[in-house]
A = this chain, B = another copy of it.
Amino acid sequence: MKKLINHPESVVREELEGIALAHPDLVKVHFDPNFIYRADAPVQGKVAIVSGGGSGHEPMHGGFVGKGMLDAACPGAVFTSPTPDQMLEAAKTVHGGAGVLFIVKNYTGDVMNFEMAADLAMAEGIEVQSVIIDDDVAVENSLYTAGRRGVGTTVLAEKICGGAAEAGYSLSQLVDLCRKVNGWGRSMGMALTSCTVPHVGKPTFDLPEDQMEIGIGIHGEPGRTRLPLKTADEIVELLMQPILSDLPFKAGDEVLLFVNSMGGTPPIELYIVYRKAHQIAEQHGLKVVRNLIGPYITSLEMAGCSITLLKMDDELLRFWDAPVKTPALRWG
């Protein structure tokens, strides 16, 4: 296993220590239970947004904590759901009197634990609402889920809802907005290589040198199909077709196009993927009005990419464009 780590058991703790050393102006890190939270939390009168999930998908979620995005993020062990005590402590720490929104990717453990944390927080008098993200069109059910998995749209929902919370949206308005983003976003990913979970020490699956996996999940769970390796343009066709046919995207719609590295795919390849995805979107009459290109929701060092299309309207554009200042996303 070739990784820049010290010991499989210390990966998450040391990564968090690195984040704490690197970004004290933006975030603080609480250990035992582990969560990353805004340096200026709680922000009084603002709805607090909390997310989380297994580690190994960085910068999601911890890299998205800061003004204009998340108030806190709870990292589990690698590819393992965080626990309710993390979520509860995070919610209590960042709650500013206006309630807490949990943004939860649709994995069985995440959903169950965020639900338990919501119950615990409400028992302590904190109003909590949860929205589930389930945007992956690859498979209907998976090893880790009932229903579709939550993938790339999560990043976009955290940015857009973060902007809206900053602008004064109430908890119920944020729930509506987050559901709208989830309803309007669709994703699909693929892998050229497997990844290796540190404490396992060997690749999650074997993928021969001439094969690829289409519709992969972010934990290396199987996708739709294993195929002989194809060109980038053919691969993008295979990813875009199910996305475009799943949502009623129609000519004239404005969209955000998000091309994501699974961790091991470098920028030069992402732009080749972006090129074809943009062309296909335009051939369908869609207008690509915003984009995001880079490693934002990874699967450790897996080589591969995912594509997310999100239909945009004035409300989504406003909060996508709003200022954000986090370790991994910064503008405005």
Q: Which residues of A contact B (CB under 8 A)?
A: 2-7, 11, 14-19, 21-22, 55-56, 58-59, 63, 192-193, 209, 212, 229, 231-233, 235, 263-275, 278-279, 288, 291, 293, 295, 298, 300-301, 303-305, 327-328, 330-331
List 26 A-B residue pairs with CB atoms under 8 Å apart, sorted by A's residue number: A3-B269, A4-B192, A4-B304, A5-B231, A5-B232, A6-B272, A11-B268, A11-B272, A14-B271, A14-B272, A15-B275, A17-B275, A18-B273, A19-B271, A22-B271, A58-B267, A58-B268, A58-B271, A63-B267, A264-B301, A266-B295, A266-B300, A268-B298, A269-B301, A301-B303, A331-B331
**Majority secondary structure of chain A interface residues (helix, strand, loop or mixed):** mixed
CA–CA, A140 and B295, complex, Å: 34
The chain B residue sitting closest to A264, CB to CB, is B264
The chain B residue sitting closest to A17, CB to CB, is B275
A14-B271, A263-B264 given; name 6 further pairs at CB < 8 Å.
Answer: A2-B303, A22-B293, A264-B264, A265-B301, A268-B298, A330-B331
A327 to chain B, nearest CB (A): 8
One of B7, B267, B274 near A298 (C-beta < 8 A): B267
A58→B291 contact, CB < 8 A: no
CA–CA, A266 and B265, complex, Å: 9
CA–CA, A291 and B328, complex, Å: 13
Q: Which 5 A-B pairs have the closest CB atoms?
A: A18-B271, A18-B275, A263-B266, A58-B267, A4-B269
CA–CA, A56 and B22, complex, Å: 27
Chain B neighbourhood of A229, CB < 8 A = 2
- A231-B7, A291-B22, A301-B303 known; A268 and B2 CB under 8 Å? no
CA–CA, A293 and B330, complex, Å: 13
CA–CA, A141 and B24, complex, Å: 39
Chain B neighbourhood of A59, CB < 8 A = 267
